[in-house]
Amino acid sequence: MITRSSPMLKIALISSYASPLAVSGSVDCDSLGFYVGQLGSELGALGCQVDIFTRRDRIEQPQVHFWRPNVRIIHVPAGPPGVFGREPLQPYIEQFGRFMVGFARRQRGGYDIAHACDLRSGCAAQQLRRTLGVPYVVTLHAPPAQQGSAAAVALQQQLLKDADSVLVLCRRQRDALQGVSGGRHTRIDIVPCGFDPALFWPVRLRARVVLGLPTDAFLVLHVGRLGPGHDIDTAIEGIAQLAGQHAVTARLLVLGAAVPDEGGHLARPLDALLSHQPCETPQSTRSQQSSTSQSLDQSHPSVQSHQLSHLGEFNRLRDLAIRLDVEVAFLGPQPASALRHWYSAADVCIATSCYNAFGAAVLAAMACATPVVGCIDGAVVDGETGYLIAPRDPAALADRLASLHANPVQARSFGVQGWRRAHRHYTWRSVAQRLTAVYAQVLAGVAADVAADGACELAGKVASKVGASASLA
């Protein structure tokens, strides 16, 4: 229960390269910007005062944008204007942190806690604590082996030792981090993703009509971006084995992957899959991406290199699908209003990637009463809401898809149970409440340490904030 008598928590939410504003038109529900926006909005709704720090990517953006009740977006001038990914931002992360420190000094009362929402944002959180003593937590979204460069792996090890709490999305990620940390951390907490009930609900009876999809096709949905860590290979290979070993023909829909303009944008022509095109077509998305890529290419050479790697990955996946005779539609990001139709239209949603293994896409599928198969844990209960399989196991994926195809009554039961579980445990509101409980525990530890050092007045101030955050949880 929320009480207003205690001072509310002031939170610095750090998302150095991904802004919630960047996903306002089309929602990639596994994107960092979407994740940060949902967390910030719900924390604000709980009464916390939230500042989301993200890099300014357009020169006309105001420094302070009043976004939602109790939530501001702070545009940080770090590096030249332009949309960067994670790696191109790295040279400017210290500049990002210095701006945060200066901004925090000008805020009355400063911040009670900082939350770095990805690995590289942890650098800025470290600067905030080192300079102003603000405790911080950091969310790590990828397993240790998939953090990228050697510098990123080293940063992860540093954060495991330095952060007041490391947050992960699922048990698999926690176990992987514990395996590489050697016990050199204070705590690892599981705080999952969530879903928005106002955005996702079952519309199966009309979804295929709205999207122009054939009513008799067995449709398998995969949500994720291009890249080896997102393991679209296993999805394609599993669909191929489903046909070869079980005589079941399925069509694979890949949603959310921004498809390069060069080299075509579909592994098979879209009109082979759609009887007519919806109002927001992959072709229109493609033209938007093309114009965007031209502006990106002019902004930073690292971005151009990143785009070329995506083009190569797309061509590789397209060639794999053609070689295995698998029908795949790369649909790109879709408008928020269309997402529930795509999730509801699918017979099965698959989550084959250990990267972001418990992402919001799984919960969106469950909220739309679609069974899930994949290497996820926590949300999906094996044999009740879907099936769990080992990572990179196309044969197991094919077996489970064949089982659901042969047992539509069981598939519907999985969908209903998944819907119930999602609403019971995984709305963004419940996730935000779990997060405030972690904040409270971190601040309680800080208060105890301060009291042990004899700084009673400061300890009392921190303890009052602990009471405020505990009342939210």
**Do residues 347 and 372 touch, judged by C-beta distance below 8 A?**
no
Low-confidence ranges of the chain (pLDDT < 70): 1-7, 23-30, 83-89, 143-148, 181-186, 228, 257-310, 354-358, 453-473
Instruction: Tell me, letter by letter, the H, E, C secondary structure of 317-350.
Output: HHHHHHHCCCEEEEEECCEHHHHHHHHHHCCEEE
Q: Domain ranges in the chain?
A: 10-193+428-472, 204-425
Give residue-wise pLDDT tens across range 298-312. 445 555 555 556 678
User: 204-425, which class in CATH?
Assistant: alpha beta
Same CATH fold assignment for domains 10-193+428-472 and 204-425: yes
Helix or strand (DSSP H, E) at 4: none
Amino acid of residue 155: L
Q: How far apart are CA 227 and CA 256, in angstroms?
A: 12
Architecture of the domain delimited by 10-193+428-472: 3-Layer(aba) Sandwich (3.40)
Place of tokens 């445990």: 425
- Burial 350-378, CB ≥16 within 10 A → b, else e: bbbbbbbbbbbbbbbbbbbbbbbbbbbbb
Q: What is the pLDDT of residue 185?
A: 61
Full 3-state SS string of 169-233? CCHHHHHHHHHHHCCCCCCEEECCCCECCCCCCCCHHHHHHHHCCCCCCEEEEEECCCCHHHCHH
**261 secondary structure, DSSP code:** S
